[in-house]
Amino acid sequence: MQGTIAQIIALTLEGNAALRGIASGGLEQTHSTMSFCEFVRFVDLTKTPTGWSERPVADEPSTWFQYLKDRGFASLRLTYGPSNDPNVGGNGVTDRMLVGFVGGGGRWLIRANKPGTSDYWEARWMVGDQQRTDRRIWRVTYGRIARSRPIEAAEQVDLRVIRERFRSVLVEIRAFAVKQDLSGFANCFTKGLDDLESESPANGFHKELLNASLLPVTAIQLLSAAQSSWVFGGMGSWNDLGFDGHDQETYERLSEELYIVINRAIVAATNSSIGDPVHSLRPNVENKAAKRQWWRIWD
């Protein structure tokens, strides 16, 4: 799983713990999702006569959690939606194929909720000093790209239903990998299946996400399986494969199905940290101009 995704999961989980007053590990520099970051900060975007400017909100996650709590925010929800880039898909290139690039693979947002309204925050990852001996080369900024939006209608989701769909896709894609003599990938899918059955799964690099004080067992199974069976990336990944004829069609279909179900699993599992399995797959951010400008000021 890409570190960008793991970190936004961790922010949502730990943020909900802080807002609910539940003791948790927090997001210190030793957290696995923070280990390669020089900083993780939070800013507000404000429109000015000459464009958009940023106003510092918090220099690190715990301060941001307190900032939200002080302003009446009660919960955080992770949202995922397909890329808004019109070029994606136009030449057969899907979000799955772009996930190995920073900023690719679709949009991941944190929706901060207070009674009646929501604010949306999105990450910007930039490379800093690549010569750092501690390898903390990433400078991460979460910007508030929309504020005071109406609460969107949320989709009711049963984690057990998602788990069954996840299992079905993994069984089929593992059989395909075995048929193609791709033992390494088949092993990833086997681990994912094991996670979905285990009462205490512990696979994946980001084990802090599997927090029984914040999540039910089914959610932990989904997040562990998502890490174990995440095979998407750049060169050498599952995305880098190619086949002939019908096998290529099967590969494309199963790859897209796995990518979709993993993202559904991540969102639903993460959002169960507020006490129910409600989630929204498509972010409802009306101010798309603000999003475009947000990227422009960093380019």
The predicted-structure confidence for 265-276, as pLDDT tens digits, reads as follows 999 999 988 765
Which pLDDT score, from 0 to 100, does residue 233 have?
79
**What percentage of the chain exceeds 90 in pLDDT?**
48
Task: Give yes or no for a contact between 120 and 266, defined as CB atoms under 8 angstroms apart.
Answer: no
Asked if the model's pLDDT at residue 294 lies above 70, the reply is: no
pLDDT in tens, 43-61: 998 777 887 788 999 999 9
d(CA 281, CA 232): 20
Mean pLDDT, residues 74-96 taken together: 70
Asked if the model's pLDDT at residue 287 lies above 70, the reply is: no
List strand residue ranges (DSSP E) for 36-136, in order: 37-48, 51-58, 75-81, 107-114, 117-127
More confident residue, 81 or 27: 81
Which pLDDT score, from 0 to 100, does residue 182 have?
96
Which pLDDT score, from 0 to 100, does residue 155 have?
67
Asked if the model's pLDDT at residue 229 lies above 70, the reply is: yes
Mean pLDDT, residues 255-263 taken together: 93
pLDDT in tens, 206-215: 777 788 788 8
**Nearest in space to 120 (alpha carbons), one of 296, 298, 280:** 280
Token pair in block for residue 72: 């009446």
Asked if the model's pLDDT at residue 75 lies above 60, the reply is: yes
Asked if the model's pLDDT at residue 248 lies above 90, the reply is: yes
H/E segment holding residue 146: strand 138-150
More confident residue, 19 or 278: 19
Token pair in block for residue 259: 């990518």
Which of the 8 DSSP states describes residue 280? Answer: B
Mean pLDDT, residues 237-263 taken together: 92
Contacts of 155 (CB under 8 A, 6+ apart): 278, 279, 280, 281
Which pLDDT score, from 0 to 100, does residue 292 have?
46
Which of the 8 DSSP states describes residue 153? Answer: P
**Nearest in space to 230 (alpha carbons), one of 284, 166, 280, 178:** 166
Which pLDDT score, from 0 to 100, does residue 31 have?
85
More confident residue, 23 or 141: 141
> What is the Cα 49 distance to its own chain's centre?
34
Measure Cα distances from 265 to 154, 158, 201 in Å: 15, 10, 15
d(CA 46, CA 148): 14
- In this prediction, residue 299 has a pLDDT band, given cuts at 50, 70 and 90, of very low
Long-range pairs, 208-213, Cβ under 8 A, ≥24? 208/10, 208/25, 208/31, 208/32, 208/33, 209/6, 209/9, 209/10, 209/13, 211/13, 211/24, 211/25, 213/17, 213/22, 213/23, 213/24
Residue whose entry in the numeric block shows the structure tokens 């970190």? 7
